[in-house]
Amino acid sequence: MDNNYLITGGTVLTVNSTNEIWHDGAVVVENGRIREVGPSAELEAKYSGMPVIDAKGKVVLPGIVNLHLHSGLIRGTAEDMPVFEWLAKHVDPKHRALTEEEAYAASMLCYAESLLSGTTTVLDMYRYMHRSADAAEQLGMRAVLSPYVADAPPYLYFETLENNVRLIEERNNTANGRIQVWIGLEHLAYCTPEAYRQAADYAERYNVGIHTHGEESQQMARDLHEKFGVWPVELFHQRGILGPRTVLAHCVWMEEVELELMARTGTSAAHCPISNLKLASGISPITSMLERGINVGIGTDGVKENNSLDMLEEMKFVPLLQKVRHLDATVMKAEEVLRMATIGGAKALGLDREIGSLEAGKKADITILDYRKPHLTPFLTGKYDNVVSNLVYSASGSDVDTVLVDGKVLVRGKQLLSGDTDRIMDHAQQAVEQLLLRREAFIPKDFIFPSSRL
């Protein structure tokens, strides 16, 4: 079968409860799940005859989870603006002009980039997400889809809750469970209070999660507080959406009461450090979240605000920002960051019993990196073990050699096997050129900060 393999000879980072590492280790994949993890010599003898993936000189880890992504096409064309002006002048006009075929091209491009750089699961918020489901199904990606829902004027060109519910009914738990659909809400300035209340009802009715944006703009956080008398996370709580199946992206500007609410309700955060840097939003208080037991995963955000979907690159910025925030080089160990990018993201999605670590019984979502690179040398084990440190601080998506989802090899030898990369890029190139031309008609002459409409 094409999802039965013995991955052997590598350094296996299990990310289990004790962060167990097997040097010269092996992972047995049978019928799309992990059957056993252990020493290579023992498992090679036990499973002789099984197709082998040689991981010598490589590091084997759980598939990476990107906990906040927007599929997109306008990489490199929306630069050097603060977040809400950037949204008004670049992003929202693009959404007004977007077609479903362009949305499909965007998701194909972003999912291909994700797989090639070691990401096996994404939480994606976009438009026309039945086409995102098509892309995920075609490429073999594991995807949780949360449509951009907005119902407050002038944002009525986004998705509706009715469309979101229809997508749940048609595509949730399809593709052998690889595709799931959540409720997606754009932002407190884009959605009415009723939208949040209805979203909470639908999430309970269909047993799905909710994804929305926590605050990344200091001005917006202050304006919301002035308008409503409470901080953004308190508003989410009043409107009924906090809980263990809710993921808030960014969460840069957080008051103590907001941190306590997230901890008490079991709400997860998706930390997007590079996007927060590029848009000059600020530095999210990740160490404060972790100290309170808040589950935190890592996201890239979209190509328009990050320019890359390389989660290995993203991982490096997580500890660097916390160290400089606290002026303390001892905060945020590499092992913590690896857990955030794998089991932390899986937990936020309610999938930690299925993915996020390399343990018997879990689905075989696996990423293999080639460490025979100058920038990953020396490769040390034992007393001077540097494998996890080099993963977080030195590795990049270009080091990914092999990727499996549900035990099926989707990337091998750095080549995407489940799609034609050149055709995917050509389709995206054609789509964006037409999209940018049509977008011109929707770009506003004057910028109005959206909180003025609250």
Q: Quickly list DSSP for 257-324.
A: HHHHHHHHHT-EEEE-HHHHHHTT-----HHHHHHTT--EEE----TTTTS---HHHHHHHHHHHHHH
- 275-316 per-position pLDDT tens digit: 999 999 999 999 999 999 999 999 999 999 999 999 999 999
Q: Which CATH superfamily is domain 5-62+357-416 in?
A: Urease, subunit C, domain 1 (2.30.40.10)
Q: At residue 212, does pLDDT exceed 60?
A: yes
User: What integer is the mean pLDDT of 52-58?
Assistant: 97
- 8 Å CB contact between 155 and 127: no
**3-class SS shares of the chain: helix, strand, coil, % to 5:** 40, 20, 40
Determine the longest span between alpha carbons in the chain, in angstroms: 70
Nearest 5 degrees, angle CA 88-CA 144-CA 287? 75
Residue with tokens 């296996």: 12
Q: What is the pLDDT of residue 451?
A: 84
Check residue 363 and report its DSSP letter.
B
Mean pLDDT of the chain: 97
- 337-387 per-position pLDDT tens digit: 999 999 999 999 999 999 999 999 999 999 999 999 999 999 999 999 999
- 60-76 per-position pLDDT tens digit: 999 999 999 999 999 99
Class (C level, CATH) for 64-348: alpha beta
Q: Which amino acid is at 10?
A: G
Q: What is the pLDDT of residue 446?
A: 87
Tell me the pLDDT band of 3, cut-offs 50, 70 and 90. confident
User: What integer is the mean pLDDT of 52-63?
Assistant: 98
Residue with tokens 């003025």: 452
Q: Where in the chain is the domain with CATH 3.20.20.140?
A: 64-348
Q: At residue 453, does pLDDT exceed 90?
A: no
Q: What is the pLDDT of residue 439?
A: 94
Q: What is the pLDDT of residue 78?
A: 87
Q: At residue 217, does pLDDT exceed 80?
A: yes
Side-chain half-sphere of 70: how many Cα atoms within 13 Å? Answer: 26
Q: What is the pLDDT of residue 448?
A: 86
- 125-162 per-position pLDDT tens digit: 999 999 999 999 999 999 999 999 999 999 999 999 99
**81 CB burial (10 A radius; 0-12, 13-18, 19+):** middle
- Alpha-carbon distance values, 212 to 68, 123, 242 (Å): 10, 11, 10
Q: At residue 432, does pLDDT exceed 80?
A: yes
Q: What is the pLDDT of residue 139?
A: 98
